[in-house]
Structure 1
Amino acid sequence: MPESRLLEPASAAGLFDLPRPASECRIVVAMSGGVDSSVVAALAAKSGAEVIGITLQLYDFGTATGRKGACCAGDDIADARAVADRLGIAHYVYDHESAFREDVVEAFADEYLAGRTPVPCIRCNMGPKFTDLFAMARELGADCLATGHYVRRVEGPAGVELHRALDPARDQSYFLYATTEDQLDYLRFPLGGLPKAEVRDLAEAAGLRNAAKPDSQDICFVPDGDYAKIVKKLRPEGGRAGDIVHAQSGEVLGRHQGVIHYTVGQRRGLEIGGQPEPLYVVGIDADKAQVLVGPRPMLAVSAARLIETNRIGPLPDAGLTAKVRSLAKPVPVTLEGALGGGAATTIRFAQPEYGVAPGQAAVIYAGERVVGGGWIDGTTGFEG
């Protein structure tokens, strides 16, 4: 297979927007052991810069997952080390298991216990993935920190901007809305303009052993997608049984084995057959151990209150959209109140939005640009 033009030194260096000639620069690459971060390391090495790979060991691979294709543990660390050896770059592994457990895994369990639906990947990016890696990269005197995320870093008229990836199917901007402007100035995302197929071709051209490695699936520390098992292990009270209650009539329709098994918008798994119309989870009262269900119109939301908000760059006067789930399509919204600096604000939907779950993130866009977002703390029903 002929080498891609991106494996030519000049082309590779151009992906990192270095402040000086590449031969005078040092790039730190966050290496999870997956194909994406491995290709970033290969591109960085090809640029002519000095490259250092860093892998954070975030959890006990064997205990936590029992499967391959997660990240930052066990076989994945071995893959990262093998890629670094192949590329001839330095590679360091740092044990961050205790910090990850406290900041991400236990917070994940607490959110489900409170009846919310968490997004641990965002918490991880806000904590171990960026904050700790930033400190390490700066201590090592790096000119930038590069990752394998599929987003684009664009120089805009008011400074550096965060944009969606060129390939919509790979876009990870939803998970990076909490990136600060200072962090974005230091970060590099060389894969944001590439389709996944080309990334795998680059891995093969570079002779990387994980070129065909499957993408990570689900949440990295959750085995086989059974998140309730993890929550109950950390918080046994998560298995507290309770009633499934009709939100309109107050009638008890059934029993459940813990609110941790449910999320707003859920229809399957309720086991309350014989109803005249399909019912959905419309709310969770964790204090009473009640799962509230109702017809689909009860899911309609007109506004959502956001907390711990972040803003990246200036806010336009109009034309904002928001995603309230990672796989949702952006929908038109207006903003009521300040955004950023941790302030609380409200987004108002132009049309009824369904399945808006407290604990998820709402990410706000201006066209392709991420302007910020926050955690969904509560919602307002749609009337009319």
Structure 2
Amino acid sequence: MTVRAARSRPERIIIGLSGGVDSAVAAHRLLEQGHQVEALFMKNWEEDDDPHGGYCAAAEDLADARAVAERLGIRLHTVNFATEYWDRVFEHFLAEYRALRTPNPDILCNREIKFAAFLEHALNLGAEAIATGHYARVEHGASGHRLCLCADANKDQTYFLHLLDQHQLAHARFPLHDLGKPEVRAIARRLGLANAAKKDSTGICFIGERRFGEFLARYVDRTPGPIEDPEGRVLGEHHGLAYYTIGQRQGLGIGGIAGGGEAPWFVATKDPEHNRLIVVQGKHHPLLMAGSLHAQPPHWIAGEAPATPFDCLARLRHRQPLQRCTVETLGPEGCQVRFAEAQRAVTPGQSIVFYQGETCLGGAVIEHATP
């Protein structure tokens, strides 16, 4: 397929300006390329916590976005997608936690908000394309659009973008695809941007950096129960199975158990029938390792599944090194993935994302580990 990483002619592009340094430098690069650039700030969560609580307040982000837009000389639009975010992303997020799974809301947020609600709004404003500060690359060709790895493997965000389709990728621009984060910050400093040193957001998409357990407790009931080892010895009490994820080490409150040794404890599995949290010692305990997994029917970026079974690379979490595997699609029953090497902490609700070479093929939500 003949591809090109960027359009050669100037376009009218609206960039999602979050208040962070990545989208700010992305906007600058579009201007450098000669595009007609405007910006849009999305507010997608109605609750604004007290800024003294340490959370990422939308008002502060909007102020930063306005400062960037003024510095770059571009128009800033604002829009509230709170209803769309609640209906399309957050309700699913809560349902998954109530089902004792661990969802990744950023993935659904990209598909439903940043590259759906935002894209539609931008096209209605007369834009030809939208841009974001994601670290990824799109290559456009006569036979379709490919989502590809960016230059900086440590920052690559294709994992979070694997649910995008051909229509969304056709209108997507990622100006940071060839940069690393140190280069982005250096550009921001050179431009005199006030957010050049602003730390990266690590909170829930659009909700911010909150005390997660306290936040989740507003929506998901706590049902305490025993923490046990595989032999059934009670080691402590959990706050509710929904509040823990497979492979978790921190926050278990069972350090220094008599006779338990000094090795740290990790969440191995959940037993909803008896409301038990099963933990093991050792990061690579056999109960934490799996040679294969079953996942829901995959989303394929190209629009159709590769001939099955097929060999490819995959990752089960952001920044995980790519793992060799074989994928067998099973129609409406999902897919089975077998790994060349056993994988640690396969987590229901998280996504497995597939790659061939530098191309992201798509991905699927993990149902459970299999032997």
After TM superposition, the score normalised by the length of structure 2 is 0.86
Q: Which has the higher helix share?
A: 1
Mapping 1:89-238, distance limit 5 Å: 89-155=74-140, 158-220=143-205, 226-235=211-220, 237=221
Contact 2:89-2:105 at 8 Å conserved across structures:
yes
Q: Distance in 1 between matches of 2:315 and 2:97?
A: 21
Q: Cα distance 1:93–1:120, how it changes in 2: closer, same or farther (>3 A)?
A: same
Distance (Å, rounded) in 1 between the aligned partners of 2:148 and 2:314: 14
Match runs of 1:253-272 below 5 Å: 253-272=235-254
Indicate conservation of the 8 Å contact 2:43/2:206, yes or no.
no
In the TM superposition, what are the counterparts of 1:1-384 in structure 2 within 5 Å?
A: 16-18=6-8, 21-22=9-10, 25-60=11-46, 62-63=48-49, 70=56, 73-155=58-140, 158-220=143-205, 226-235=211-220, 237=221, 239-247=222-230, 249-272=231-254, 273-276=257-260, 278=263, 279-286=265-272, 288-294=274-280, 296-313=285-302, 315=306, 318-337=310-329, 344-381=334-371
Compute the displacement of 1:36 (Å).
Answer: 0.9
Q: Which residue identity does 1:325 align to in structure 2?
A: R
Structure 1 contact 309–343 (Cα < 8 Å) conserved? no
CA pair 54-268 structure 1, distance change in 2 beyond 3 A: closer
Against the structure 1 CA distance between its residues 15 and 327, is the aligned structure 2 distance closer, same or farther, given a 3 Å change threshold?
closer
CA distance in 1, matches of 2:179, 2:201: 18
Residue-by-residue CA offset, 1:70-89 (whole Å, 9 max, x unaligned) = 48x21111111222222222
Work out whether residues 55 and 209 of structure 2, in 8 Å CA contact, stay in contact via their aligned partners in 1.
Answer: no
CA distance in 1, matches of 2:143, 2:208: 43
> Number of paired residues?
358
Q: For each residue in 1:27-46, what CA deviation from the matched residue of structure 2 results, as whole angstroms up to 9, or x when unmatched?
A: 11111111111112222233
Contact 2:154 2:319 in 1 (8 A): no
Shift of 1:206: 3.2
Q: Distance in 2 between matches of 1:64 and 1:116?
A: 29
Contact 2:245 2:347 in 1 (8 A): yes
Letter in 1 for 2:67: A
- Over the aligned positions, Cα root-mean-square deviation in angstroms equals 2.7
- Quick one: which amino acid aligns to residue 343 of structure 2? E
Q: Shift of the alpha carbon at 1:68?
A: 7.1
Q: Which runs of 5+ in 2 are unaligned?
A: none
CA contact (8 A) 1:306 1:377 kept: yes
- Kept in 2, the 8 Å contact 1:65–1:222? The answer is no
Distance of 1:55 and 1:330 partners within structure 2: 34
CA distance in 2, matches of 1:228, 1:140: 39
**Deviations, residues 247-288 of structure 1 (Å, cap 9, x unaligned):** 4x3444432121233211123443442355654322113454
- Deviation readout 1:90-128 (Å, 9 max, x if unpaired): 211111223323433343333233221121111211211
Q: Report if aligned partners of 1:151, 1:173 keep a CA contact under 8 Å in 2.
A: yes
